[in-house]
Amino acid sequence: MIDAPPVIAIDGPSASGKGAISRRVADVLGFHLLDSGALYRIAGLMASREGLDLENGADVAKLLSELDILFESDGGAETIIRVNGVDVTTDVRRESTGELASRVAAQPEVRSALIGFQRSFRKAPGLVADGRDMGAVIFPDAQAKLFLTASPEERARRRHKQLKEKGISVNLAALSAEIAERDYRDRTRSVSPLRPAPDAEELDTTPLNIEQVVSRVLAFVEKKMPGLII
């Protein structure tokens, strides 16, 4: 039997830095990257544009089956997201879209509809999968599973900084409340709630900068897959 390409699962709550860390780790290893949150964001965004009831999982899942989703590199650090040929990158990244995503992500039909698509990203030489349930549900046989956390205050601060850099001004207290609400919904939903896989390594990133987190993640990957990093 040919071994399936290796997967590094990086899960954790919103604004824990997973996105930036996953991209850096994928770049260092030359691995593919799956931003699974973007898929739930696309589902929420398109369902809302179509005027669907976001709590109607069957309707949202049907809509998903009609979408042609494409992730393309812009040649630099960004990924362009196209849905049925249209660039939706900016809309997908909005805070308001995160909220729509969290609502559709609680629907079992929507989660099932995305399983096969997410697994199709597992290709040689390997994959870094960023999300909430990468290690627990989508890639239970992942060779390395990490669960990144940070205090709610630190996560609000990071998201605030990230949005400010994009020229989007938001109130820190409001952002903090929004993050807490999204966490609560993600943790308490009945299907695939946000929690570490039993065999995941938890890493509290509160006192660490991106470079420090990336080196800890790479050290853990090297421990799990000796010789992968040259």
List interacting residues with ligand DC (CB under 6 A): 14, 36-37, 40-41, 98, 101-102, 105, 131-133, 182, 186
Please identify, using beta-carbon distances, which residue of 186 and 201 lies nearer to ligand DC: 186
Residue 130 host element (H or E): strand 127-131
Q: Which residue has the tokens 């990230």?
A: 162
Please identify, using beta-carbon distances, which residue of 132 and 218 lies nearer to ligand DC: 132
Report, in Å, the least distance between residue 195 CB and ligand DC. Answer: 12
For residue 42, what are its two tokens? 């696309």
Q: Which residue has the tokens 């899960």?
A: 11
Report, in Å, the least distance between residue 198 CB and ligand DC. Answer: 17
Report, in Å, the least distance between residue 21 CB and ligand DC. Answer: 12
Q: Which residue has the tokens 């990203």?
A: 121
The Cα–Cα gap between 43 and 113 comes to 10
Please identify, using beta-carbon distances, which residue of 133 and 201 lies nearer to ligand DC: 133
Give the residue from 219, 180, 220 showing the smallest Cα distance to 199: 220
Give the residue from 147, 105, 117, 120 showing the smallest Cα distance to 18: 147
The Cα–Cα gap between 152 and 45 comes to 25
The Cα–Cα gap between 94 and 86 comes to 17
- Which residue is at the shortest CB distance from ligand DC? 37
Radius of gyration, alpha carbons of the chain: 17
Please identify, using beta-carbon distances, which residue of 58 and 229 lies nearer to ligand DC: 58
Report, in Å, the least distance between residue 189 CB and ligand DC. Answer: 8
Report, in Å, the least distance between residue 230 CB and ligand DC. Answer: 30
Please identify, using beta-carbon distances, which residue of 152 and 228 lies nearer to ligand DC: 152
